[in-house]
Chains A and B, each alone.
Chain A
Amino acid sequence: MKAFKIIVLAKQVPDTRNVGKDAMKADGTVNRAALPAIFNPEDLNALEQALRIKDQFPGTTITILTMGPGRAPDIIREGMFRGADDGVLLTDRAFAGSDTLATSYAISRAIAKIKEYDLIICGRQAIDGDTAQVGPQVAEKLNMPQVTYVEEIIQADNKSIQMKRRLDNGVEIVKAPIPVLLTVTSSASACRARNAKFLMKYKHAKTISERQSENEDYMSLYHDRPYLNIPEWSVNDVEVDPQQLGLSGSPTKVKKIDNVVLQAKEAKKIDASDAEINLLMKELIDSHTIG
């Protein structure tokens, strides 16, 4: 029976979904720094699909590959708490300012370094950029077929994968050869919760940068348990053409950004009484808005 090698591409993103009062500044714009950092929701759906393959095909390994600054390793740990086997952090100042093309270039070089994989699975899009471009662009750079809008992997064997796609007006069942890149939508199954056993096991998993910035009490721990070392790759570790990274590798440039300010309109306030509603309906009919 086949044991799959799966790479799950995941991104740490600010939680833009429910911008509460705490994250709103006085001028009506969003205080991005106040938003909590989370595992991109559709990447969690992607992880669940990978975990289901692992359930079915013992020996399958799942590697979380993430590219990002700061607390991005949190994502790798979170993935391992849910059942992923390991992770790789791709991080370097040189990646700053990357648009989707430069991002997918860097990620594709990291995947090329990982070398052996049957499936690359990622969320359809991230909730900060909302572009849905990185998945297909990574596939193109690796010269791999892609299937987007995947809702469910139905069948897998050592030659191919069958999956259900959720489109605007219906569904498709498609079959793709291995290796293939899949992007998964939020209509797919929710990711299973953390597993207490894995939480205990991977609690102290860290990248070298994280260990260097903290107390070295646990030095022997990382020596005895190599799986707690999260590989951290910079541009020196991955074969890249520097011209294709960061701002210089980004064909798209941000010319300007405008904050969306909630403009309050003068609304007519009505209560739910019969009299008021009667008046309202009359008004709407008289103005030819309805009727």
Chain B
Amino acid sequence: MNNIFVYCEIEDGIIADVSLELLTKGRSLADQLACKLEAVVIGSKLDEIGKQVFPYGVDVLHVADDPRLAPYTTLPHTSIIVNLFKAEKPQIALMGASPVGRDLGPRVSSALYSGLTADCTSLEIGGHEDKKENKVYENLLYQIRPAFGGNIIATIINPECRPQMATVREGVMKKEIRSANYKGEIKKIDVASMVSPADFAIEIIERHIEKRKVNLGAASVIVAGGYGMGSKENFGLLYQLAEVLGGEVGASRAAVDAGFTEHERQIGQTGVTVRPKLYIACGISGQIQHRAGMEGSAQIIAINNDPGAPINSIADYVINGDVTDVIPKMIKYYKANSK
């Protein structure tokens, strides 16, 4: 009872990175609150799944294994989680803010009448005083997240309802193994007792999931282009620079929407969060939604023609010039200097 639960998403037998990141955070919260970390995996062919999960410090792994449970659909996963949470009464439940988590989380929270905070950028433990009701709460989960398009940061709490639920996007938290030999217990969920035929109302007819070509989260150098790149052709310059520097190409939402590059490369609030050693922002104005996804970069170079661009305020270097002029020069002088 009263433990921390993390719902682990699974695709093709592999637990998603965002779930591993949340297990890491869950472990740290469990240490702080002196309780257990429990994980839930729902899918098919899950015999070996413990190997991926236990090293993150999971004390109990609940497994629901049934061919009908993969790929993810809303109703059976909701039924299982709701039944499990009613029995286990977690104090905190975490999920990735992915299409799965953002489909499942609200449905579960509605069924349990518990509060859910989406897209948290930070989770902390703290107290709260409700002066009106004359109540003092301890060890609440502070769910910290941007709102209003990213222009404000709100700290949300669920004083009374349980579990306190939060979703977090991939790349916001770091994943870290607790111990390769961490011993945890497996509990098999009796799927048949928790699902009904009505839960399988949605039918998946076709699926085309591509293995991700790009891993922006792991890149130490990112060359990103914005609407100011002007065209898909000009985006080619970014690929050239990235190749020479051993980095990856990213993009702002405006560039993706304009068709300059694929959605997979989008960095920002509705894209990926990155923290590379070097972020080169080319033709990017730096709206808050984009900054939210890259302001953790160690060094930032901004290349643009607009002295008033918001990105310039968070950059370490600001190059005032045309990207089509500057980038070829950067390639040339990188090659010249890196003998």
Contact = CB atoms under 8 A, between A and B. Distances in A.
Interface of A: 14, 16-19, 29-30, 32, 99-101, 104, 127-137, 139-141, 145-149, 162, 165, 167-177, 187, 250-260, 262-265, 267-272, 274, 276-278, 280-282, 284-285, 289-291
B314 interface: yes
A145 B197 CA distance: 13
Interface string B139-158: 00011001111111111111
Interface of B is mostly: mixed
Contacts of A280: 301, 317, 319, 330, 333
A169 B210 contact: yes
A107 to B, nearest CB: 12
Given A101-B113, A270-B317, A133 B106 contact: yes
Given A101-B110, A291-B338, 20 more contacts: A18-B287, A128-B147, A133-B102, A133-B116, A148-B102, A172-B209, A174-B73, A252-B143, A253-B159, A254-B155, A255-B155, A258-B153, A265-B314, A272-B325, A272-B326, A274-B333, A278-B333, A278-B336, A281-B334, A281-B336
Interface stretch (B46-54, B87-95, B176-184, B199-207): B199-207
A140 B107 contact: yes
A77 B203 CA distance: 36
Contacts of B99: 148-149, 165, 167-168
Interface residues of B, number: 90
Interface in B43-75: 71, 73-75
Given A99-B115, A128-B148, A251 B158 contact: yes
A253 B157 contact: yes
Contacts of B73: 174
B203 A174 contact: yes
Contacts of A271: 319-321
A252 B164 CA distance: 9
Among B11, B109, B161, B310: residue with most chain A CB under 10 A:
B109
B334 A255 contact: no
Interface of B: 11, 71, 73-75, 78, 98-99, 102-103, 105-107, 109-111, 113-119, 128, 142-143, 146-161, 201-212, 221, 245-246, 263-264, 269, 277-278, 287-289, 298-299, 301-302, 310, 312-322, 325-326, 329-330, 333-334, 336-338
B155 A256 contact: yes
8 contacts: A148-B103, A149-B103, A170-B207, A174-B202, A176-B203, A263-B314, A290-B245, A290-B278
A270 B110 contact: no
Nearest to B153: A258
A127 B289 CA distance: 11
B151 A270 contact: no
Contacts of B310: 262
A137 B110 contact: yes
B44 to A, nearest CB: 17
Nearest to A21: B308
B147 A260 contact: no
